[in-house]
């Protein structure tokens, strides 16, 4: 389990109070984040290897087009790292199970099978209301607790920087929600 800590002195108990945003604040009220947990295989005679998290933030909402961009990015990163497959353990969020995402994964796997660069993507859908079956969920919980500021709201930049620092990953450019064509 990740080591839990917060951005507060250790002698004071953590008391979280819902903070109010100013109506004139240009910062978004929420920041969407995609993540992938890379499990490292244990070496002979050792315990489980160090897991790695990769995260990408989204300017806007997580929708099918952004999910496809994220999967493409993951495929490139994992192929570069010598991986051959990405096992997606997903809930039934609309941006995970949409026709566009399923079609893109199918096309992507077909291209990889023909020798194009990338990793094969295997989708495993979780039963409804069963997030504990996904190994990334405890990582998210610990990460949220570790980056929270109990006394004030964080800017999106501060939040993204803290998340990347906590997970030890680089702060990649944010994914952008595609504009609808007129």
Q: Give me the DSSP letters along 57-77.
A: EEES---HHHHHHHHHHHHHH
Q: Kindly state the tokens that stand for 165.
A: 């620092």
> Does residue 25 contact residue 141 with C-beta atoms inside 8 Å?
no
Of 98, 14, 8, the C-alpha closest to 61 is 98
Split at pLDDT 50, 70, 90, the class of 132 is confident
Q: How confident is the model at residue 55 (pLDDT cuts 50, 70, 90)?
A: very high
- Coil, helix or strand for 47? coil
Tell me, what's the pLDDT at 93?
85
| pLDDT surpassing 90 at residue 166 | yes
Say which residue the tokens 């409804």 belong to.
Answer: 128
- pLDDT band at residue 28 using 50, 70 and 90 as cut-offs: low
Tracing tokens 């806007």 back to the chain, one arrives at 60
In this predicted structure, what is the pLDDT of residue 182? Answer: 44
What percent of the chain lies above the pLDDT cut of 70? 77
pTM greater than the 0.85 cutoff: no
Q: Is the pLDDT of residue 61 over 70?
A: yes
pLDDT of residue 174: 92
Model confidence at 12, pLDDT cuts 50, 70, 90, reads low
Greater confidence (15 vs 152) lies with: 152
pLDDT at 92: 83
Condensed to tens digits (0 to 9), the pLDDT of residues 68-92 reads 999 999 999 999 999 999 999 988 8
Choice among 10-19, 22-31, 118-127, 138-147 with the minimum mean pLDDT? 10-19
User: Given the structure tokens 């495993």, which residue do they identify?
Assistant: 124
């Amino acid at each position: 389990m990740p080591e839990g800590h917060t951005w507060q002195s250790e002698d004071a108990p953590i008391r979280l109070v819902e903070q109010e945003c100013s109506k004139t604040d240009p910062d978004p009220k929420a920041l969407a984040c995609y993540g992938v947990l890379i499990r490292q295989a244990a070496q002979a005679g050792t315990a489980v290897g160090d897991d790695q998290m990769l995260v990408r933030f989204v300017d806007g909402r997580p929708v099918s087009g952004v999910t496809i961009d994220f999967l493409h990015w993951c495929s490139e990163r994992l192929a570069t790292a010598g991986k051959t497959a990405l096992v997606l353990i997903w809930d039934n969020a609309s941006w995970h199970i949409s026709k566009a995402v399923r079609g893109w994964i199918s096309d992507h796997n077909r291209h990889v099978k023909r020798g194009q660069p990338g990793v094969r993507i295997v989708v495993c859908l979780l039963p409804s209301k069963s997030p504990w079956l996904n190994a990334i969920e405890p990582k998210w919980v610990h990460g949220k607790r570790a980056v929270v500021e109990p006394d004030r709201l964080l800017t999106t930049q501060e939040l993204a920087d803290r998340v990347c620092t906590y997970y030890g990953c680089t702060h990649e450019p944010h994914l952008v929600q595609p504009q609808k064509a007129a």
